[in-house]
Amino acid sequence: MPNLQPIRAYFEERLQAHGASPRGVDWNSATAQEARFDQLLRVVKQAPGEFSILDYGSGYGALADYLERQGYAADYVGYDMLESAVAAAEEHHRGKARRRFYSDASLLTNVDYAVASGVFNYRGPESFDSWTEIVIAALTEMNRLSTRGFASTFLTKYSDADRMRADLYYADPCFLFDYCKRNFAKDVALLHDYSLYDFTLIVRKNP
């Protein structure tokens, strides 16, 4: 059974040090954070209109603000395993409509789309294989909760070797593409053509 306490402690320290900000959820900048949002939202394959979206590992809910700035009409649900992150999100979004946050996964209900931005990057002391099992379990949960599709970003195993860290998870894009194709849907996209050391996996259902 994986021990997620080091992961919780890592993100708790970031939040306490930097608050409701990109650095508080382990991004270097708002630019880096929003570059991933752009890729993830490519899962929304529809004409402009209302939809619901789950932000899996939401932190302080930056995606909700980004959706609003981009003109999306979305019912936003944020989920994070850290109660402190949910508390920060509720404070950050106080008074704003169509935004809900949970730290209890059992309270989550079906949405149109589910996305995860950088959630799996830090694996701490967990082995690669053990963390891969955690990733598959989370993707399976996102698949269960979404009716139209889901998307996630990952650091890539094709990163420059001299810049890779031992405590980060560099996923195999071909393995995850194959797993999603075989287990979740026929309509799967692997986006590995933007100038970052990561990739985005998109699974669309009922295209």
Render pLDDT for 68-98 as a digit per residue (tens, 0 to 9): 999 999 999 999 999 999 999 999 999 999 9
pLDDT given at position 207? 56
Instruction: Classify burial at 51, counting beta carbons within 10 Å of its beta carbon; exposed 0-12, middle 13-18, buried 19 or more.
Output: middle
Which uninterrupted H or E stretch holds 105? none
- Let me know: does 85 contact 58? Beta carbons within 8 Å: yes
* Whether the predicted pLDDT of 47 surpasses 60: no
CATH of domain 5-204: 3.40.50.150
- Let me know: does 119 contact 150? Beta carbons within 8 Å: no
pLDDT tens-place string over residues 4-45:
888 888 888 888 888 878 787 877 778 888 889 999 999 997
For the whole model, what pTM was predicted? 0.93
CA 164 to chain centre: 21
Per-residue H/E/C for 23-64: HHHCCCCHHHHHHHHHHHHHHCCCCCCEEEEEEECCCCCHHH
pLDDT given at position 48? 60
Better pLDDT: 186 or 28: 186
Instruction: Give every CB contact of residue 104 below 8 A, 6+ residues apart in sequence.
Output: none
**Residue for token digits 């919780």?**
8
* Whether the predicted pLDDT of 106 surpasses 90: yes
- Domain boundaries defined on the chain: 5-204
Give the count of alpha carbons within 13 A of 179, CB side only.
16
DSSP single-letter state for residue 22: G
Three-class SS state of 168: strand
